[in-house]
Structure 1
Amino acid sequence: MAVHRTKSSQRSSPEAEKLVSDAISLAASGSQVEDRFWEERLTVRLMRLLKSQNQNVIDAALDQTFRINTVAFEVLADTAETLAESLKIEHENQEWDVLLIAMPIVAHTRYQIPSGPLQTNMIEATAQALHSSIAATDARLAIVPWLYSIDQMPHSHCQTRILMEALASAAICAKEVKLELRDMSETIAVLADPRFIIAALSAPSGSPIFKWQEESPARQERGVSLIGWQTAMHEPVASMLPGCEFELLLPEAYFTNCRLADKHVRPLSIRAGVNFLESTLGILPAGLSCVVGAFGEEQADEYRISFSAKGSSEVMYGVIWPLYDRESVSSDALNDLSDDESPIKKICDALHDAGVEDVFRHAMLFDPELCDDCGAPLFPDRSGEAVHAEMPEDTPTQQPLFH
């Protein structure tokens, strides 16, 4: 997905350089008049790339601005996301605003988290809950009849724009959503993962799309909308996700909610892993030892957490804590706990909250290696080697893959 950071190995191009230049100019602007000038330039360039499906140029520009100017990166990332997840379209001499929204379900289990086609009653329940708790009075909607795993979501700005355009007319005209959903990728089985229902909300341009945009008495604050949404959707989701514990997040713009759900699931992945090891091997959390290391090519792209039995050097399980575009860690702060907002501090807090007391942190940056045979990620051991995580031979055979 486009919410994940790109790789600095990508070559720059004239088109990417122009994007970077416009983003830096917009970030440095000191007036709204100048803002509008650079915004128009940036929008035209990005729309040209989105229409031609030239995601590589967008990624290269994002990567370059991320490394040299974080304010310009935010400007470029926000503009690209806005153009991918929203549009204006004319229908019967009326201009409409359309926004792609994601409805995250953050779930964890000891078994398997379902994904796949949504039944008609689930689509109807979702539509009713959206109208009653989220969508503005005059808003119209179209729901994709699929429960997405993260592996099945659009993986770029260009792919997101294609989905947005496919849903726009269905939302405005209240038509059936027609998408080819048979060739979805396989869902990777993990213990904690978000699931998403995706929809398009539309409203006449200039009109509210969400209830919290409306005037009184129709106006409803976000917190009230969230409670109403969670109440209305709890029973339908519970029947759709048997054996799972879950939390429903507020339906919001696509990219914002993809990031929010991904971040929300990270501590749950640790807790689910600890629970899995306790239920499968009978090892209490206090009997576990964890090693945490940062992994990436030139910068930390993720942390990998190894689980071992206390007193053993054998890594038997692993969890990945990915970092996203708006998160960065300097090379001299990979294991610094002084910043409460740093990823390593959040990881250690999540481990301690799950009952793990023995946590070892590496200060080095590991290469993001995968197993040559099976493609599984390698995890750090205490000696500083990246190794394959292997459950004991007498472990029950039905296991989830690593998160």
Structure 2
Amino acid sequence: MRRPSKDSSPKLSAESQRLVSISQAIVQAASRVEERALERQLDAQLQKLLKTGHQDTIDTTLNTLFKEDLNAYDTLMEGVEAVSESSIMVDSVDGVDTTYQALLVAAPILAWTRFAIASGTIPPDTLATLSAHFSAHLLADGVRMSMAPTLFAIDQLPRSHAETYAATHKLAQAAYKGTPIKPLAKAAETAPFLADTRYLLVAIVAPLGAPLFRWQEPQHQMNFTIERANSLEQWQTQASDTVSRLMPGCGIELLLPEAYYVACREADKLIRPVSIRAAVHYLTNTLGVQASDLRAVVAGFGEEAADGQIDEYRVAFTMRQTTDVIYGIVWPLYGQEDEDGTPVEGLLAAGMEMELQKAPLDEILGHLNEAGITHIKRHHERFIAEYCDDCGGPLFADPVGELVHAEMPEDAPPGNEHFH
């Protein structure tokens, strides 16, 4: 669940009031028939706003509902994500109309390195190879697809629902017509990290109601979980070499391609433990020390006006004998995560036992231990999220609780100082 800005909301426009009313009506619907009818109304309203680029109207409404009605907020967020990552097209041939459905899919790639993680334009032959593997191992028979010729860093992905809507429709048209897509004219600058995520974006198109992925085909419905796993394994096996050539010097892991927002959220969560492993590997190799020579300092951070809410943990690394922070990583919290873990009602709804669910802090400590870090300092106070005035990087809590910039030692080998 995205956390909107804390700015006070202006008076709602008529369009925003309509979004609020429909979202609240969906929450209160007493039958699926009523709910589906209301969802169609909401989709139509969102289509109009996204097509005309009125992202501000949607954001204002989400901000208001986040403060006043979380159930309606979740409903509206689910609706705007669904509408922006999908589309419906009608084609008429010889007087016969056929309706097609399109879905924007993200194929996340977890990457880690001591150097730089590539992004940008994908060469045509590489794009053709990846597209062939994607279609053969993931898509249902007869599904058309178009892969964007760009390896996206997170800073280069669509920044709003309106931009996602535009990207979905552009790629969907290319998939249906079989026409090529031009690479980004000028991709946004990417921040250098030791571990980061890259994305392939793909639009897939099929007749309305037809299966999109292999595991949705009738012959696999009784064993769709197994087929999903098989599809992922084939995608990883067949595409990994091609992706590795596209991202030289990187360790990689291909995740299951899924609908855009779900795939991005899953990748955001899974890159976090990779960041810890990459940081420890980088520090031990660069400084010529053992993991047991390092100390980790873990602290919770949040916005000043967030009433004690922790939005992220920041993990600072020092040598055991000093307090100087030499490196740091950020572990953001998503959705219903908080410092106490997933709420009890979420566990009960999922049929899970409470002891099987780790709180984020326990996860962090576990991954640090697995990486060989045995000396860990935890600050129990919550810090205000502050950033460096010069480079914009996050400030980290040192062992005594002062917020400082992470700086590698002056005698560290050159060439790595851009990582922070």
Report the TM-score when normalising by structure 1: 0.91
3-state SS of 1:23 partner: helix
Give the secondary-structure state (helix, strand or coil) at the position aligned to 2:83.
helix
Q: Cα gap change, 1:275/1:188 in structure 2, threshold over 3 Å: closer, same or farther? A: same
Q: CA RMSD in A?
A: 2.5
Instruction: Quote the Cα distance in structure 2 between the aligned partners of 1:153 and 1:173.
Output: 24
In structure 2, give the amino acid aligned to 1:365.
R
Q: Which residue of 2 aligns with 1:186?
A: 189
Within-5 A mapping of 1:3-402: 5-15=3-13, 16=16, 18-92=18-92, 93-178=97-182, 181-216=184-219, 221-297=227-303, 298=306, 299-329=309-339, 340-399=357-416, 401-402=418-419
The one-letter amino acid paired with 1:210 is F
Partners of 2:261 and 2:390 in 1: how far apart? 34
Q: Could you tell which deviates more after superposition, 113-122 or 263-272?
A: 113-122
> In 2, are the aligned partners of 1:152 and 1:184 still within 8 Å (CA)?
yes
Provide, for residues 175-207 of structure 1, a one-character-per-residue CA deviation record: whole Å limited to 9, x for no partner: 11145x122111211111111111100001111
Distance in 2 separating the partners of 1:49 and 1:40: 14
Give the match's secondary structure for 1:72.
helix
CA drift of 1:95 comes to 1.4
**TM-score with structure 2 setting the length:** 0.88
Q: Distance in 2 between matches of 1:10 and 1:212?
A: 45
After superposition, give the CA deviation of every residue in 1:262-317 in whole Å (9 maximum; x if it has no partner): 11110000110011100111222111111112222113222111111112111111
Question: How far 1:17 moved relative to its partner?
Answer: 5.0
The one-letter code sitting in structure 1 at the alignment partner of 2:313 is: Y
Distance in structure 2 (CA, Å) of the matches to 1:50 and 1:384:
45
Instruction: Kindly tell me the number of residue pairs found equivalent between the two proteins.
Output: 396
Q: Which runs of 5+ in 1 are unaligned?
A: none
**Could you tell me which residue of structure 1 aligns to residue 346 of structure 2?**
none
Is the CA contact 1:318–1:402 (under 8 Å) kept in the aligned structure 2? no
Is the contact made by 2:12 and 2:61 (CA closer than 8 Å) also made in structure 1?
A: no
Is 2:148–2:202's contact at 8 Å kept on the other side of the alignment? yes
Is the contact made by 1:202 and 1:209 (CA closer than 8 Å) also made in structure 2?
yes
Separation in 1 of the partners of 2:267 and 2:416?
24
Distance 1:384 1:19 in 2: 45
* Deviation of the 1:379 alpha carbon: 0.7
Tell me the secondary structure at the aligned position of residue 14 of structure 1.
Answer: coil
Give the Cα separation in 2 of the matches to 1:67 and 1:347. Answer: 30
The 1-side partners of 2:11 and 2:365 are apart by 41
Distance 1:312 1:217, change over 3 A: closer
1:15-43: CA deviation from partner (whole Å, max 9, x where unpaired): 44543443333223331122123313322
Change (3 A) 1:178 1:237: closer
Q: Report the alpha carbon displacement of residue 122 of structure 1 after superposing the two structures with TM.
A: 1.4
Sort the Cα spacing of 1:326 and 1:217 in 2 relative to 1 into closer, same or farther, 3 A: closer
What are the ranges of 5 or more consecutive residues in structure 2 without an aligned counterpart? 344-353
Task: Report the CA distance shift for 1:402/1:7 in structure 2 as closer, same or farther (over 3 A).
Answer: farther
Partner of 1:257: helix, strand, or coil? helix
